[in-house]
Amino acid sequence: MKLNFIGSSIETLRKGIEELEGQLSFEWKEDGLPIEVIQEGGELIVSLEQGQGFIQYDQPIHFFRALGLFTQYAKQTNHFKRCESPRFDFNGPMLDMSRNAVLNINAVKQMIRYLAAMGLNGLMLYTEDTYEIESRPYFGYMRGRYTQGELKEIDDYAALFGVEVVPCIQTLAHLQQALKWSYASEMKDHDDILLIGEPQTYQFIEDMISAASAPFRSKRIHIGMDEAFAVGLGRYLAKHGYQDRFDIMQSHLSKVLEITSKYGLKPMIWSDMIFHFLSNDKNGFHYPLDVNFAKEQLDKLPSDLQYVYWCYGTTDQSKYEKIILKHKELGSTPIFAGGIHCWGGLSPNYGKTWETSHPALRACRAQDVREVIATAWGDNGQETNHFTILPGLQLYAEYGYSDDVNDEQLSKRFAACTGMDLFDDIVALKYMDETPGIGEGNHWMARPSKFMLYQDVLQGLFDKHLEGDPEQDLPQYYLSLQQQWCKSKEKAEGPFGTVFAFYEHLSGVIAMKGMLGLEIRRLYEGGNKDALLEVSEHRLPAVRTQVNELRRIHRKLWMQTNKACGWEVLDIRYGGIMARLETASERLRDFAIGREDRLEELEQQPLLFDPHLPEGQGYLTIDSNSYQRIVTAGALV
């Protein structure tokens, strides 16, 4: 498709337009279909009539959204008109760059191009310690940290499309990786919480704020402060005695805001700790509604601060609205942060993403929340590739512009914005963990693909849950998924070819290995040494070979999209599987040929990983997201 853009503002958009030519399948040519471009407040309008195109936009990001719409409809018809009214002033992802996987610069730029075509104008890079502080060489050391130059390059590129990049750091908790070095020994309250009130703490925070904000045009900064449940209860308690922890935190916040003010920044914080400290419900819902917002408490809170309400698990729109209304008592409308559930496992959970995001975003529109964030965390090692969140980002984009949002619309828009007909394929990755027997949506985030990959074949901590369920044929289930991902791989391009190659091979490995521990135990208890010898000499080595091939495919995907530092964690995890398979093979052989008269590992009576769940329902276990807990009942570290 050849297009020719005409208008007084077009030169300011030229570089961005050129960057999207391949993705949106058009060329900017003087002999192309003429499109009149007008920058004007109000609605976003795209139309084509009698061979004349038209785009009206307000902000640059609206133009790029309109460009995606124009190319989508122009491929289908020679006559159309579409009008949209932007619902959000800030809308985009927060990408976790702190759980080992730090996107490389080319991948960030690719992500920005997708955001632009979708009409998403915000990008947050969540960096606990993965950015450079020149005066502190151990900060982010060997963690794939971004240099100041790399962050500026990201910001410059995003500016081509009108995407605001907002630094997102931590200034209280979630700093374990930064504080593990000896330089930080005198400013730790706990292993991951800063010691409030110490001069060196605030020098450290100033160094972080200065370095994190310097490369960016935006004057906004997210300074974190969530989940600091143990603040004031470690070294602070030993030094100062017990103090009201709301007062401690407000004292700390005031000092941090003095620093952000010094640098002319507009800060925001997660709001959960304010609700936590001002509520009597310290063990319940993380945003309790009985919070005490008395005037004397509110007077302690700064007025020049934005609050970010985060929630990733609620399915009731009315609950979202109640908590938004409670936030408004703080004096302003909050920013809302929902979740695209890609963390803790090997694949995205689009069942839960859909059942929580629809009511959350409807609540935001109903309560006139004008800023929303789609978080994409990477808990427990970022085993899921960042690009699998794109359908979730399309959902956020459509809620930002459209009246009705449904999967058919999302699929069409996704194909138009990314140039790939992969919406249904990526969303279907949820079935890696939403296996038969799991409730629709997999709300409790069961991760059978993870525990069946990592758990030990001799000491399988989840095997008791997998016993004797007549409704399950998990090996056959994963073999069918393997065939499905092979078809997806064949039509995918770029990194998505490798994404589906990874899931294709992962499904095959799980089919081979997932239930093998149960079979080994049955053969052992039945005294079938010949069969155990066959498992030892053929099947276990075959699984080991396939695990190593899976590791290679995963490594290829990682290196395509991420910096190299951080991969070593997954190399170690895969290496652990292979080493244990080799040991299992040797142990079974020793028993089969009479070198050992018993195998201690298989003499243990298996127990349920979670005794609160019935046998045969290990796939419902909600604590199966931690590699450390899956692989051993011992102490891994």
Greatest C-alpha distance within the chain: 87
pLDDT at 619: 55
More reliable by pLDDT, 209 or 495 = 209
Looking at this protein, which amino acid is placed at residue 242? Y
Pair of tokens at residue 38: 């007008």
The secondary structure of 239-285 as a DSSP string is: HH----HHHHHHHHHHHHHHHHHHTT-EEEEE-HHHHHHT-S-SSS-
Strands 220-222 and 44-49: unpaired
Positive or negative, the Cα torsion across 28, 30, 35, 37? Answer: positive
Cross-strand bridge partners of residue 558: none
Q: Can you tell me the distance from the alpha carbon of 463 to that of 458, in angstroms, rounded to the nearest whole number?
A: 10
Buried residues in 411-424 as b, exposed as e (16+ CB within 10 A): bebbebbbbbebbe
Residue whose entry in the numeric block shows the structure tokens 């703080």? 330
What is the three-class DSSP state of 27? Answer: strand
554 C-beta neighbours (distance < 10 Å), count:
23
DSSP letter (8 states) at residue 632: -
Question: In the predicted model, what is the mean pLDDT of residues 16-31?
Answer: 98
* 301-358 residue pLDDT tens: 998 899 999 999 999 999 999 999 999 999 999 999 999 999 999 999 999 999 999 9
Instruction: Give the closest residue to 580 by CA, choosing from 470, 455, 440.
Output: 455
Are residues 435 and 347 in contact, defined by beta-carbon separation less than 8 angstroms?
Answer: no
Are residues 33 and 74 in contact, defined by beta-carbon separation less than 8 angstroms?
Answer: yes
Pair of tokens at residue 591: 């028993």
Pair of tokens at residue 193: 């919480």
| Backbone φ and ψ of 523, nearest 5° | -65, -40
Q: For 111-159, what is the HEC assignment?
A: HHHHHHHHCCCEEEEECCCCECCCCCCCCCCCCCCECHHHHHHHHHHHH
This prediction has a pTM of 0.97
Question: In the predicted model, what is the mean pLDDT of residues 379-390?
Answer: 97
Q: Can you tell me the distance from the alpha carbon of 355 to that of 307, in angstroms, rounded to the nearest whole number?
A: 24
Look at residue 402 and tell me whether its pLDDT is greater than 50.
yes
Look at residue 615 and tell me whether its pLDDT is greater than 80.
no
Pair of tokens at residue 421: 């007909």
Residues in contact with 119: Cβ distance below 8 Å, sequence separation at least 6, in sequence order = 61, 62, 64, 65, 68, 86, 91, 397, 400, 401
Looking at this protein, which amino acid is placed at residue 469? D
Distances 303 to 269, 300, 474, 504, 526 between C-alpha atoms, Å: 13, 9, 55, 52, 71
Instruction: Give the closest residue to 221 by CA, choosing from 230, 231, 211, 229.
Output: 211
Are residues 520 and 458 in contact, defined by beta-carbon separation less than 8 angstroms?
Answer: yes
Instruction: Give the closest residue to 255 by CA, choosing from 187, 203, 331, 332.
Output: 203
* C-alpha Rg value of the chain to the nearest Å: 26
pLDDT band at 450 (very low <50, low <70, confident <90, very high): very high
Distances 386 to 116, 342, 449, 451, 497 between C-alpha atoms, Å: 17, 8, 18, 21, 14
Pair of tokens at residue 396: 């956020």
In this structure, of 110-124, 389-403, 454-468, the range with the lowest mean pLDDT score is 454-468
The secondary structure of 203-225 as a DSSP string is: HHHHHHHHHHHTT-S--EEE---
For residue 600, the surrounding DSSP H or E stretch is helix 600-603
For residue 39, the surrounding DSSP H or E stretch is strand 33-39
Look at residue 622 and tell me whether its pLDDT is greater than 80.
no
**Contacts by 548-556, CB closer than 8 A, 24 or more apart:** 548/574, 548/578, 549/505, 550/502, 550/505, 550/506, 550/509, 550/574, 551/575, 553/498, 553/501, 553/502, 553/505, 554/502, 556/498
What is the three-class DSSP state of 164? Answer: strand
Question: In the predicted model, what is the mean pLDDT of residues 236-253?
Answer: 96
Look at residue 616 and tell me whether its pLDDT is greater than 60.
no
Cross-strand bridge partners of residue 374: 93, 338
CA-based angle 325:327:328, to the nearest 5?
65
Distances 622 to 51, 280, 394, 395, 631 between C-alpha atoms, Å: 57, 27, 28, 26, 16
pLDDT at 470: 46
* 162-206 residue pLDDT tens: 999 999 999 999 999 999 999 999 999 999 999 999 999 999 999
pLDDT at 286: 84
* 493-523 residue pLDDT tens: 888 999 999 999 999 999 999 999 999 999 9
For residue 199, the surrounding DSSP H or E stretch is helix 199-213
* 436-446 residue pLDDT tens: 888 889 998 99
Q: Can you tell me the distance from the alpha carbon of 398 to that of 411, in angstroms, rounded to the nearest whole number?
A: 11
pLDDT band at 614 (very low <50, low <70, confident <90, very high): low
Look at residue 213 and tell me whether its pLDDT is greater than 60.
yes
Are residues 495 and 483 in contact, defined by beta-carbon separation less than 8 angstroms?
Answer: no
pLDDT at 281: 78
